[in-house]
Amino acid sequence: MSTKYIKRIRDLREDHDKTQREIAEVLHTSQTMYARYERGANELPLHHLLTLCNYYNVSADYVLGRTDDPEMK
The structural domains of the chain, with segments of one domain joined by +, span 4-60
pLDDT digits (tens, 9 = 90+) for 12-59: 999 999 999 999 999 999 999 999 999 999 999 999 999 999 999 999
Question: Other C-beta atoms within 10 Å of 54: how many?
Answer: 11
Residue spans of alpha helices (H) in 16-69? 20-27, 31-39, 46-56, 60-63
Please tell me what DSSP assigns to residue 44: P
Return the CATH class of domain 4-60.
Answer: mainly alpha
The whole-model pTM stands at: 0.90
Model confidence at 3, in pLDDT bands (50, 70, 90)? confident
